[in-house]
Amino acid sequence: MSKQSYHHGDLRRALLDAALEAVTKDGPVALSLREIARRADVSHAAPTHHFRNKAGLLTAIAVEGYHLLADELERVRATGGLVEQGVAYVLFATAHPAHFAVMRVPDLLNSRDPDFVAARDRAWHQWLSGTTMPDGSTDWTAAVATWAMMHGLASLLVEGNVQPEPDGDVETLARAVGRHLAPLKPRAPHRD
């Protein structure tokens, strides 16, 4: 199909998909709009129409990633607390490694973009909800400690530095690691 005869029902989605493929192959730093246009078989100017620049494209990927993560965290919130959220985080990262990679490079993103801020905050609030106390307060340090531990595991898995045991899988490993979070259960608020 020639670039002149190209017609696509959702060019924005096609460009995002091409960018996700490129990030999977070469990482977010190496991403170029020209390469994305080539992969999507459109003119080299097409990506700028939808995203203005590389930062705009990467920000759109991060927004999508944070919404996917928030959806997963919301889904497991009813069935479990911090451990289940941690498992959901690891499963998200390993199922969406390109999104996860882009979300981990904030210097390449438009961090003030309102859609980005809203998506990131939505994911954080879903995460924080796993530490909600009976009185409605949350344990911020427990949320950060859990995130740090499970983010570390997710990063190690995505980078290939850790693999599940031969007879195991990612979910089983994440749940086993998550059991070490038992001491991080939300505490009752301090009363004077």
Percent residues over pLDDT 70 in the chain? 90
Rounded Cα–Cα distance for residues 192 and 179 (Å): 32
Q: What is the mean pLDDT of residues 88-113?
A: 96
State mean pLDDT over 130-136: 76
Concatenated DSSP letters of 61-87: HHHHHHHHHHHHHHHHHTT-SHHHHHH
Residue among 21, 3, 19, 24 at smallest CA distance from 54? 19
d(CA 27, CA 18): 13
Would you place residue 19 in the very low, low, confident or very high pLDDT band (cuts 50, 70, 90)? very high
Per CATH, the number for 62-184 is: 1.10.357.10
Q: pLDDT value at position 2?
A: 40
CA distance 178 to 31: 34
Residue 3 reports pLDDT greater than 80: no
| pTM of the entire predicted model | 0.87
Q: What is the mean pLDDT of the chain?
A: 88
* pLDDT of 6 above 60: no
Overall average pLDDT of the 77-100 stretch: 91
Residue 5: predicted pLDDT: 39
